[in-house]
Structure 1
Amino acid sequence: MALEPIMLVSNTLEIQIRSALLGLAVGDALGVPVEFESRARRKLDPVVTMRAYGTYNQPAGTWSDDASLTFCLAESLCRGYDLRDLSRRFINWYEHGYWTPHGEVFDIGVTTREAIQRSKAHPELVLAGRTDEYSNGNGALMRILPLAFYQTDAPLRERFRLILDVSAVTHGHVRSAVACLLYLEMAVHLQNQLSPTDAYARLCQEAPSKLYELNIPAQEADRFEVVLSGRLMDRPRTAIDSSGYVLHTLEAALWCLLRYETYAETVLAAVNLGDDTDTTGAVAGGLAGLYYGEAAIPAEWLQVLARRSDIEELSHRLALAVQR
């Protein structure tokens, strides 16, 4: 039986949320079959469309933990800001396949897994993410996008407190939170109809003073020099890393967004950087979907996307929730 079409809220917010979530999931799914494969391999065999099987032996259109945990955050925000609820959803995902494409978890980062296990063993421990410098994988950045639509008019310190805590459910170091902040600032600029180039220029202009206002230690702010140089797009591909380190993922995703001019070109460039292909694809795809819109995502990719109707329905509920 055909599903009834989901009615859109009569404003741009739901369209933006839907485009961002679909864009993230498609970018993730493009990267899943080739995760951990090298850039040299991608140069010989570039990804040009949705593939099946590969690294995890999953059907085409299957997204990974990046999208799953993004959807967990979106679901939680539908009920309001509640870190305990978010933590329970992460546990439910890990143990019972909640918000997975096919009912089981097949991919999870080490830092995320350890944090979920700690929060399960100690239910009072919500901010379970480690705070050491070596726990700065991209597991918070990959799922943070729904916060771009939540309390965007709140004062900077209040917004950063939300980001810091949502990140710290799995990743407690301030570097991960700052990466999330900069990513969300780009998303908000794109929501406000700035082009990627103009959004990036605004980010580079405003971010240093914001980091100072937030009392981010200078040695941490300096870590973002490449991102905030204003010249990220001028760096050659050989200078762009695509590992699971949070700074590499942020730099790579923004580089792809700035260098390419369509949704498809952006996410394919992200995936073809190699290594952590699903996360780079997801992080770039969320911003590209938000800017270019759902109509720019190739129809053949959307047709095979796992649980597409569920993602659309979640977008509808999140739009209603954040407008209350």
Structure 2
Amino acid sequence: MKTKIHSALFGLSVGDALGVPVEFKSRDYLMQFPVTDMMEYGSHHQPKGTWSDDSSLAFCLAESLSEGYDVNDIGEKFVKWRNEEIWTPHGKVFDIGISTNQAINSIESGIKPILAGGFSEMDNGNGSLMRIIPLVFYIKDLSIEKRFDIIKDVSSITHAHIRSVLSCFIYLEYALNLLNKNDKWQAYKKMQIDVKNFLNSNAICSQREMDKFYRILELKVSDYDVQMLYELKESEIGSGGYVLESLEASLWCVLTSNSYKETVLKAVNLGRDTDTTGAIAGGLAGLLYDYEAIPEKWIDVLARKDDITKLCDNLFSKYG
């Protein structure tokens, strides 16, 4: 039986694998040579169906959660991924983010995982957002206050700045609404209302920090008119490694597409951080359209698909 857990984790890893061969390619290049199917070799010289550190760390999180929630164990799993190469597609780590690597070094040196991630404004890459979706299955029945606290801790293992935390929070609030069978528009509007109410009722961040999310939350900021993210042109959507760009891009791809396939191909063809945009958008699209909507031929070539299936089964037995 394929569940929403299978939909999200396969959705993420297939999107990731579509993007790996063209990571760092420009949008102009991909307009000329768009990704339309699984490719091999390319940027990292990997076989077809190879996923990156995005999926590896999501799988580490999922494996830890299948044994219960323990932030220290999650941190230890990340260390084992880098050092012992668990949850790698072919037994070797071929890509790792600078902030994630530094956080793993900190954990190794004895720093608690929730204090290992970078706290500065420069520490806002997409390395916690890309791996966070398995957490939705653990927090789904908790209060919004408790959800935020847990998301903050899990993001902070590698990315502790409030902007990264809020990005993960917004993303998982949207994912939760999709999990609860809202359509993509109902889910988006409910996320906006719930997040704005929560932030306005709690001293979580400064107004300046909240305003960074004005395009997602549809906020009036200084002299700017309220902008609807889904009405923006592709040229107005970034696709680099900055967490806010990745969040906007993934939501934009979901809201402006009508199938899993369309969503992830649109995400990958934005260029630059292609695997991560594909993964982040793919996790949401998997939840929205279900496992059966993911092209079978893409799943068939996915590295370690049987291991991923077993992981999903284990997580479902715990939180299904």
Asked if these proteins are the same fold (TM beyond 0.5), I'd say yes
- Could you tell me whether the CA contact under 8 Å between 2:21 and 2:46 is conserved in 1? yes
Which of 272, 275, 288 pairs up with 2:269?
Answer: 272
Structure 1 residue 28, shift from structure 2 partner: 0.2
After superposition, what is the alpha-carbon deviation per residue over 1:145-194, rounded to whole angstroms, capped at 9, x for unaligned? 01111132212221111000000100010111110011001111111111
Structure 1 residue 126, shift from structure 2 partner: 4.6
Q: Unaligned stretches of 5+ in structure 1? A: 1-7, 9-13
Alignment-derived partner of residue 93 in structure 1: 81
Q: CA RMSD in A?
A: 1.2
Paired amino acid for 2:215: V
Alignment-derived partner of residue 5 in structure 1: none
Which of 220, 229, 244 pairs up with 2:209?
Answer: 220
Map 1:110-189 to 2 at 5 A. 110-122=98-110, 124=112, 126-189=114-177
After superposition, what is the alpha-carbon deviation per residue over 1:82-126, rounded to whole angstroms, capped at 9, x for unaligned? 111111110110011100100010011111111101111225455
Structure 1 residue 77, shift from structure 2 partner: 0.5
Q: Does 1:196 align with 2:184?
A: yes
Which of 1, 8, 14 pairs up with 1:26?
Answer: 14
Counterparts of 2:113 and 2:266, CA distance in 1: 39
Q: Unaligned stretches of 5+ in structure 2? A: 219-226
What SS does structure 2 have at the residue aligned with 1:249? Answer: helix
Paired amino acid for 1:301: W
- Could you tell me whether the CA contact under 8 Å between 1:119 and 1:126 is conserved in 2? no
**Identical aligned pairs, as a percentage?**
50
Alignment-derived partner of residue 4 in structure 1: none
Alignment-derived partner of residue 255 in structure 1: 252
In structure 2, relative to structure 1, the CA distance for the partners of 1:316 and 1:125 (3 Å cut) is: closer
Q: Does 1:58 align with 2:55?
A: no
Counterparts of 2:49 and 2:141, CA distance in 1: 35
Paired amino acid for 2:17: A
What SS does structure 1 have at the residue aligned with 2:125? Answer: coil
Which of 289, 299, 302 pairs up with 2:299?
Answer: 302
- Could you tell me whether the CA contact under 8 Å between 2:14 and 2:299 is conserved in 1? yes
Counterparts of 1:115 and 1:49, CA distance in 2: 34
Paired amino acid for 1:51: M
- Could you tell me whether the CA contact under 8 Å between 2:114 and 2:154 is conserved in 1? no
Paired amino acid for 1:265: E
- Could you tell me whether the CA contact under 8 Å between 2:174 and 2:188 is conserved in 1? yes
Structure 1 residue 213, shift from structure 2 partner: 2.6
What SS does structure 1 have at the residue aligned with 2:272? Answer: coil
Alignment-derived partner of residue 284 in structure 1: 281
Counterparts of 1:267 and 1:195, CA distance in 2: 18
Counterparts of 1:164 and 1:124, CA distance in 2: 14
After superposition, what is the alpha-carbon deviation per residue over 1:11-69, rounded to whole angstroms, capped at 9, x for unaligned? xxx61000110000000000000001100010010000000000100000000000000
After superposition, what is the alpha-carbon deviation per residue over 1:182-238, rounded to whole angstroms, capped at 9, x for unaligned? 100111111111111221122222221111233222111111101111711100000
What SS does structure 1 have at the residue aligned with 2:139? Answer: coil
In structure 2, relative to structure 1, the CA distance for the partners of 1:20 and 1:53 (3 Å cut) is: same
Moved over 3 A (4+): 123-126
- Could you tell me whether the CA contact under 8 Å between 1:27 and 1:278 is conserved in 2? yes
Alignment-derived partner of residue 244 in structure 1: 241
In structure 2, relative to structure 1, the CA distance for the partners of 1:81 and 1:214 (3 Å cut) is: farther
Counterparts of 1:214 and 1:85, CA distance in 2: 29
